[in-house]
Amino acid sequence: MKRKVICFSMALLFSMVLLSLPVMAVEPKPGTIIDLHNWQQYKECLTPPLIEQIKMGLSFPVVKDRPELLNPAPGYIKASERNRGKVEIGPKGELLNWVSGQPFPETDIDLKDPQAGLKVAYNHERRPKGDDQSLEKYFLKMVDPHGKERCLGGMDKSYLILQIMGRTDLGPMPEWLPNPTGIRFLNILSIDYPYDLKGTMRYMIRYDDPDKDDDIWMYIPTMRRVRRMSGAQRQDSFGGTDSTYDDIRGFDGRPGEHNWRLIGEQKILVGVDTQVPHKRKGFLIPAPRALRDCWVVEAIPKQKGYVYAKKVMWVDKGFCALPWHFMVYDHQGRLWKVGEDFNTAMRTGPNRDGGFVVLDQSYVWIDLLAKRGTVYEWLGYDENGNQSCYCNSGLTPDMFGVDVLRKRGRR
């Protein structure tokens, strides 16, 4: 009898030990199709934005990661190594001693560091995007709950961005001088259709000083006038879509305007190589996804009345620092919108025959409360698989400005 009791006690103890051990995440192998029927097996590798899409009917194949597609241009890597260990965060949350390249290597980011979330945010903000970009076109498809689509788009240099500071591959480097006001980059965004929005353009100047707000001008074609806009209008919906100007490419706001916290880290499934077009199902994109290690960060706006109460992003740990997945909460604490970014490698240079830089191919924002979504498509490659984005092509400051808005808006 004693022997039976001892055996039972040992079995119970062994079971308790097993239950106390951490559960290992089940990682899907390349070739696995994840859908509504099996996603729970792999939930450790899924995020709420991806789970919400799967519940809506998304299915996709798992592929092997291709890290070579996420390597930045050589100049960015060299600049990051040259400036390693020199960058700090100041008392106001500002970035100190940054010249170019990645501000903080992965080894400098510690979960116990109260500034870790802000470091990840700065890595994302100053990720390798090329010294300039020129999108030949883009499409935004707004899909309502019934599947009906409304299209908004831009053609012929519809998105231009020129880095004034932090240049790593094109001269002048690292900064376009003179730069007395500390401009970090210049940006023009234009809308060419539908007809009622044709000619609408935004010109933005972003400064390196975290206390200096963006300067923004809009050309309003119905008025044939350029209007000065408030920086707060970055919270406005972009062309009636489900994202704001601050939401472009996941997060296009200013890190210093939020309180950041590093929640943790997670290996998740992301759309690494999406050059090949994939047939959508409404606003769901069934592109292949691969496993990548990410930081999970939370951003709470400092400004009262900001459109979102909280934003959470999954940011790649590597050089690319891409915000693969993101979600926002409203002021009632409800999960409001979820989004996902899809990226691919693009050739640089005026003839698109240079090294690679990683940019968005498409991304999606889904309004869970309104049950609708917006898909941004063909940002880097067109619907035929041809590269339609130019990076490091030699843009100059005289291609930007209020006069440029007037001239281009009246075409």
Q: Around Cβ 395, how many Cβ atoms within 10 Å?
A: 21
Q: Residue 43: which pLDDT band, with cuts at 50, 70 and 90?
A: very high
pTM of the model: 0.89
The answer to whether 83 and 98 are in contact (CB under 8 A) is yes
Q: Could you tell me if residue 40 is inside a domain?
A: no
Beta bridge partners of 216: 204, 229
Return the percentage of the chain with pLDDT > 90, whole number.
58
The answer to whether position 50 is within a domain reads no
Supply the DSSP string of 13-24, one letter for each residue. Answer: HHHHHHHHSPPP
Contacts of 30 (CB under 8 A, 6+ apart): 62, 63, 64
Give the dihedral sign, CA 249/254/258/259. positive
The two tokens of residue 305 are: 């009345």
Q: What is the pLDDT of residues 342-389, one digit of tens each?
A: 887 777 888 777 777 777 778 899 999 999 999 987 677 777 778 888
Cβ neighbours of residue 67 closer than 8 Å, sequence gap 6 or more: 318
Average pLDDT over residues 180-204: 91
CA nearest neighbour of 322 among 125, 190, 172: 125
**Tokens encoding 116:** 């870790």
Whether residue 10 lies inside any domain: the answer is no
Task: Find the mean pLDDT for residues 141-164.
Answer: 89
Please report, for residues 262, 266, 360, 372, the alpha-carbon distance to residue 314 in angstroms, rounded to integers and kept in the order given. Answer: 10, 8, 15, 22
Q: 99, 174 in Cβ contact below 8 A?
A: yes
Q: Is residue 114 situated within a structural domain?
A: yes
User: What's the pLDDT score for residue 14?
Assistant: 33
CATH of residue 207's domain is: 2.50.20.10
Indicate the pairing of strand 215-220 with strand 225-229.
antiparallel
- Specify the 3-state DSSP secondary structure of 117: helix
Give how many domains the chain has, as a whole number. 1
pLDDT at 195 over 90: no
Provide DSSP, 293-329. EEEEEEEEESSTT-S-SEEEEEEESSTT--EEEEEEE
Q: Is residue 201 part of a domain?
A: yes
CA 240 to chain centre: 20
Mean pLDDT of 398-404: 94
198-220 as b/e: b if 16+ CB within 10 A? ebbbbbbbbbbeeeebbbbbbbe
Residues 6+ apart with CB under 8 A from 300: 258, 259, 261, 309, 310, 311
Which of 126-140, 177-191, 211-225 has maximum average pLDDT? 177-191
Q: Is residue 110 part of a domain?
A: yes
Give the structural domain span for 147.
67-409
